[in-house]
Amino acid sequence: MAEISNYKVAASPHALDGKTTRGIMADVLIALLPCTICGVAYFGLYSLLLIVLCVSTCFISEQLYNKIRKKPYTLDLSAIVTGLILALNLPPRAPWYIPIIGGVFAIVIVKMLFGGLGKNFANPAATARVFLLLAYSGLMTRYIGVDMADNLLSVDVVTAPTYLSGGIAAFRGSFFGVRDYWGYVLQLLFGTVGGSIGETCKIAILLGGAYLTIRKVIDWRIPVVYLLTAAVMVLVCYGSASEILLQLLSGGMLFGAVFMATDYATSPKWRYNRVLYAIGLGVVTVLIRRYGVYPEGTSLAILIMNLFVPLMDKYILPVRFGQMTKAGKRAPQVMKWSMRAASAALALALIVAVPIVATRPQEYPYVISAERTAAGEYVFEAGGMFPIGGTPRERTYRVTIDAQARTVVSIEPISENNKGYVAELTLFIGKTRHEIAVMSGKDLSTDSEFSATYTNTELRETLLQCFDYIEERGGNANG
Amino acid sequence: MAIFGSGVHPKDCKSLSSGVPIGRMADPQKVWVPLSQHIGKPAIPVVSAGERVLRGQLIAKKAEGISANIYSPIAGTVQGVVGHITASGKKRDHILIENDFTDEGIDLPVREEWTQEQLLARIEEAGIVGMGGAGFPTAIKFDVKGKADVLVVNGAECEPYITCDDRIMIEYGSELMQGVRYCMQACGAKYAVIGIEKNKPEAISAITALAGKGIRVCRLRTRYPQGAEKQLVYGCTGRVIPEGKLPVEAGVVVANVHTVLSVYRAVALGKPCYERVMTVSGKGVREPANLWVKNGTPLREIAKLCGADEGSARIVCGGPMMGEAVFSLKVCTAKTTSSLLFLDATECEEKSASACIGCGKCVQACPMGLSPTFIEEALFRKDYAEAKRYGASACIGCGCCSYVCPAKRFLTQSVRLAKKIIAERKV
């Protein structure tokens, strides 16, 4: 019996899947690369500095924490992932100390104090973002526009609104010739709008998400069901089909859905719990956006839903193979089928409701008549009873719009019977729909005449209706 | 075809030996025949030192209760009952027989017509046990008193590397079919389903061509653990075996392909169970092979024959998912030893556990619907009731959770331990 050689024994299974913690984290870093590159290209080298600061803060603070607590160093790349995700969540011109404070908060307070990797109850990056938003709300909502050439070396802060904070004023008039709605959607998709460093370019995020799904790092159910629920919720809460794409592609929703909601430690472990969690995320995000005081709801929604995860993991368990009820029947797969049904119902609701809402006949109360002239112009008789200073007064105009350039050629008053409160027509001449749409109250107010602002505002609405009328009739405005 | 959820898909590595016809290994100089080659009590030796035995002669009689007869695999002289290590590392009684190379043998009597009782008696007499690895005495399993209507034959062979069942189906198709008929008669089944994974097309076509009336071939998805009893029955018949119950509760009797072949040999040829087909494979083997090997052959003899590298990173008895790593080639084969693998460093990883990152891959992978990570957590807290609530008692030990774990945690072992403690303390 003497022969006990150097054979290595080990417990089965002897074959192992090649995936390791570090490999998974490396995969996430690879998936974040397109977002990082786009962010730096769009917002300049200063944002790269922020990224480097944030990542190194996260890494160093984790190792320092380990040193102080006399624990082994953790070189599993998870701190780098947290740092990068947090950095991509910061506005491009945040002061240098923001990533440092955020990084320390994310790693030390949210992650390490609760036991380190895998033990944190909330997503470190999402929590740190919410913390920074509360502590430095002015700095954290100061976004700049995209201008590759100007931004590259600049550190200037020329604030620009985002769609969530400033509506369509955040957009440019056209995106490579695509005007209006689809132009806005394309701008959001390619990320040429204001926003956090990494979350503006949706193409890059989708690329990263596809990579993670193919590599089976993330569960596709979370982002897909999240976005699906959010779409239905937007339809319900905003009552508009065109709002769906604008909302889904705005702010941090897509980035959060792919990279933050899918965080392992803070999302449920069973696939159908994940569906439930994603539905909750979609509902909470849209509710915050629509009815809350913050324009952006993703990070907060992730933080809120994170708190329900331990409860879900504890009480909603998979039905075991061969599990029996007390009555001796096969235990029904309640969760599985209800979650499948819920997802199918959401998808069905979207498929059915979007065409109905979108094709709902638009009302153009200010358009009285319209015709197309041989010269390639649309001539509208437009106007009606404008509520000026609380009193309805009649205002009608002959509006001419160039069919090619889609600009206002001329506006002639037909009836402006009450003297005074005359619109400043020159404000609108030669402008496109977009330029008119993004005019703010300040642009429309005038010093010369009291209450002309009301008239200007209503005339703006009238012109927008004329433009939309042309859009809807596909250029055949003859009726 | 019903498919069970989850599971994993390890690299099957079967091409190393799947094309090699079954050969026969020369009898070794000495055999150490284990007295415990089955679940239950060890057999009681009926021979003593110095006695001459023939091949096929009874050397140990089944004990009371669950046990099985053991026959001499060679002709020779009994040296005595000695202690010898087994694959699990424990020292157990073996009968040591020295070969005299006369190969004199005796067979059990054979008859033309068999009744159900006679068949069951023969299966019991021949010492046949479940040869897929479980080693449960087949006679007891088959004695279902008419409560089963289906015989499910396990040809899934879902463990990577192992190809002995595959080769048996290809080379012993007609014997197997006759064996299936004997088994159906013995357990009173009305029809039989032979479940074969799709990655064995040759076996599927060979068996399909031979399948007669009442015998159906079921092509199964290639997915580990497709050959586990509950998953196999579900895949072949769509029936679900209730938790903690035997297949007969669902009207099913399950038998491995090799067990069926052994039944044929015992019934039609009168040969008791003293040898089996083994796969010798892995990158550490120069000539991977499928071999008829006598029970009690030391692993070293097999290693020598196949040109195996004794310095392999790991030597495994059984499949890489559930098999046991051996620490000595002195260990001898038993009725249940389906394979011997010499794995090099690229085929098996040395692992050290790191912190759980909560990815939930083990929950998705578990074919029984358990939550291994939470069971482990509960085990470490000594909260066994909680471990039971997460399903620890239903563990089949397939190893899927450890296989997929990116943190390389010893989940299978934790769940097994939790299951054991729950059973012992009746939580």
Q: How many CB pairs under 8 A join A and B?
A: 179
In the predicted structure, residue A5 carries a pLDDT above the cut 70: no
Task: Give the C-alpha separation, B373 to B356, whole Å.
Answer: 8
CB contact at 8 A, A321 and B235: no
CB contact at 8 A, B235 and B243: no
**In chain B, % of residues over pLDDT 90:** 72
The rounded Cα B370 to chain-centroid distance in angstroms is 24
Q: Say whether B406 and A116 touch across the interface (CB within 8 A).
A: no
Round the CA-based radius of gyration of chain A to a whole number and report it. Answer: 28
In the predicted structure, residue B149 carries a pLDDT above the cut 50: yes
Give residue for tokens 């009173």. B188
Mean pLDDT value of segment A313-320 = 93
Q: Say whether A12 and B327 touch across the interface (CB within 8 A).
A: no
Domains of chain B by start residue, with CATH: 116-269 (3.40.50.11540), 361-425 (no CATH)
Please name the residue ranges forming H helices in B42-172.
116-125, 138-142, 164-171
Q: How many other C-beta atoms are found inside a 10 Å radius of the C-beta of residue B29?
A: 12
pLDDT, residue B64, reads 87
Q: Find all residues with CB under 8 Å of A241, minimum gap 6, and list them.
A: A235, A353, A354, A355, A357, A358
pLDDT, residue B228, reads 92
In the predicted structure, residue A13 carries a pLDDT above the cut 60: yes
Measured between beta carbons, the chain A residues lying within 8 angstroms of B378 are none
pLDDT, residue A296, reads 82
Q: Please give the angle made by the CA atoms of A464, A465 and A467, to the nearest 5 degrees.
A: 65
Q: Say whether A119 and B355 touch across the interface (CB within 8 A).
A: yes
Measured between beta carbons, the chain A residues lying within 8 angstroms of B373 are 269
Tokens of A186: 């394309």
Q: Say whether B242 and A271 touch across the interface (CB within 8 A).
A: no
CB contact at 8 A, A468 and A436: no
The rounded Cα B342 to chain-centroid distance in angstroms is 18
Mean pLDDT value of segment B95-112 = 90
Beta strands in A184-319 (DSSP E): none
Closest C-alpha among A87, A10, A12 to residue A43: A87
DSSP state of A257: I
Task: Give the C-alpha separation, A277 to A256, whole Å.
Answer: 14
Q: Find all residues with CB under 8 Å of B240, minimum gap 6, and list them.
A: A321, A322, A330, B230, B233, B234, B250
CA distance B210 to chain A (A): 33
Q: Say whether A321 and B314 touch across the interface (CB within 8 A).
A: no
In the predicted structure, residue A213 carries a pLDDT above the cut 70: yes
Measured between beta carbons, the chain A residues lying within 8 angstroms of B412 are 11-13
* Cβ within 8 Å of B, A 61-80: 76, 78
Residues A179-197: tens digit of each pLDDT: 778 888 999 999 888 899 9
Q: Say whether A20 and B408 touch across the interface (CB within 8 A).
A: yes
Measured between beta carbons, the chain A residues lying within 8 angstroms of B370 are 318, 320
Phi/psi at A159 (nearest 5 deg)? Answer: -65, 145
Mean pLDDT value of segment A122-133 = 94
- Give chain B's mean pLDDT: 91
Q: Say whether B373 and A269 touch across the interface (CB within 8 A).
A: yes
Each residue of B63-92: b (16+ CB within 10 Å) or e? eeeebbbbbbbbbbebeebeebbbbeeeee
Amino acid symbol at A344: A
A272-281, A455-464, B60-69, B380-389: least confidently modelled range: A455-464
pLDDT, residue B255, reads 95
Q: Say whether B369 and A323 touch across the interface (CB within 8 A).
A: yes
Q: Say whether A321 and B4 touch across the interface (CB within 8 A).
A: yes
pLDDT, residue B73, reads 94
Amino acid symbol at A264: Y
Q: In what order do the strands lie in the sheet with A377-388?
A: A367-372, A377-388, A391-402, A408-415
Give residue for tokens 């590159």. A37
Amino acid symbol at A370: A
- Share of chain B residues as helix, strand and coil, in percent rounded to the nearest 5: 30, 20, 50
In the predicted structure, residue B163 carries a pLDDT above the cut 70: yes
pLDDT, residue B403, reads 93
Phi/psi at A374 (nearest 5 deg)? Answer: -65, -25
Mean pLDDT value of segment A250-261 = 94
Give residue for tokens 């898909």. B9
Residues B234-289: tens digit of each pLDDT: 999 999 999 888 999 999 999 999 999 999 999 999 999 999 999 999 998 999 99
Terminal-to-terminal C-alpha distance of chain A: 103
* Cβ within 8 Å of B, A 198-227: 219
Tell me the longest C-alpha to C-alpha distance in chain B.
64
Each residue of A148-176: b (16+ CB within 10 Å) or e? eeebeebeeeeebbbbbbbebebbeebbe
Residues A361-386: tens digit of each pLDDT: 777 888 888 888 888 888 888 888 88
Q: Find all residues with CB under 8 Å of A242, minimum gap 6, and list them.
A: A181, A358
Residues B28-80: tens digit of each pLDDT: 999 999 998 888 899 999 999 999 999 999 999 998 889 999 999 999 999 99
In the predicted structure, residue A330 carries a pLDDT above the cut 90: no
pLDDT, residue A446, reads 66
* Position A2 confidence tier, pLDDT thresholds 50, 70, 90: very low
Mean pLDDT value of segment B286-293 = 92
Mean pLDDT value of segment B213-234 = 91
Phi/psi at B359 (nearest 5 deg)? Answer: -75, -20
Closest C-alpha among B175, B275, B202 to residue B15: B202
Residues B302-314: tens digit of each pLDDT: 999 988 888 888 8
Bridge partner residues of B133 (DSSP)? none
Task: Give the C-alpha separation, A131 to A154, whole Å.
Answer: 27
Tokens of B146: 């008419």
A183-187, A450-454, B359-363: least confidently modelled range: A450-454
Q: How many other C-beta atoms are found inside a 10 Å radius of the C-beta of residue B330?
A: 17
* Position A1 confidence tier, pLDDT thresholds 50, 70, 90: very low
Beta strands in B171-247 (DSSP E): 191-197, 215-220
Closest CB to A116 among B11, B242, B355: B355
Residues B362-402: tens digit of each pLDDT: 999 999 999 999 999 999 999 999 999 999 999 999 999 99
Q: Which residue in chain B has the smallest CA separation from A8?
A: B314
Measured between beta carbons, the chain B residues lying within 8 angstroms of A309 are none
Task: Give the C-alpha separation, B248 to B405, whole Å.
Answer: 34
Mean pLDDT value of segment A339-351 = 95
Tokens of B140: 């007891």
Closest C-alpha among A258, B211, B408 to residue A267: A258
Mean pLDDT value of segment A133-143 = 88
Residues B85-94: tens digit of each pLDDT: 888 888 899 9
Task: Give the C-alpha separation, A469 to A370, whole Å.
Answer: 9
pLDDT, residue A146, reads 82
Bridge partner residues of A380 (DSSP)? A370, A399
* Position A419 confidence tier, pLDDT thresholds 50, 70, 90: low
CB contact at 8 A, A88 and A255: yes
Each residue of A195-210: b (16+ CB within 10 Å) or e? bbbbbbbbebbebbbe
Bridge partner residues of A417 (DSSP)? none
Bridge partner residues of B298 (DSSP)? B332
Task: Give the C-alpha separation, B128 to A269, whole Å.
Answer: 43
- Give chain A's mean pLDDT: 87
pLDDT, residue A479, reads 41
In the predicted structure, residue A123 carries a pLDDT above the cut 90: yes
Task: Give the C-alpha separation, B194 to B202, whole Å.
Answer: 14
Residues B164-214: tens digit of each pLDDT: 999 999 999 999 999 999 999 999 999 999 999 999 999 999 999 988 889
Task: Give the C-alpha separation, A297 to A431, whole Å.
Answer: 34
* Position A441 confidence tier, pLDDT thresholds 50, 70, 90: confident
In the predicted structure, residue A326 carries a pLDDT above the cut 90: no
B207-214, Cβ contacts within 8 angstroms, sequence gap of 24 or more: B207/B155, B207/B169, B207/B173, B207/B176, B207/B177, B209/B173, B210/B173, B210/B174, B210/B176, B210/B177, B211/B177, B212/B177, B214/B184, B214/B190
Task: Give the C-alpha separation, B216 to B77, whole Å.
Answer: 46
What is the complex's ipTM, to 2 decimals?
0.89
pLDDT, residue A84, reads 97
Task: Give the C-alpha separation, B426 to B421, whole Å.
Answer: 8
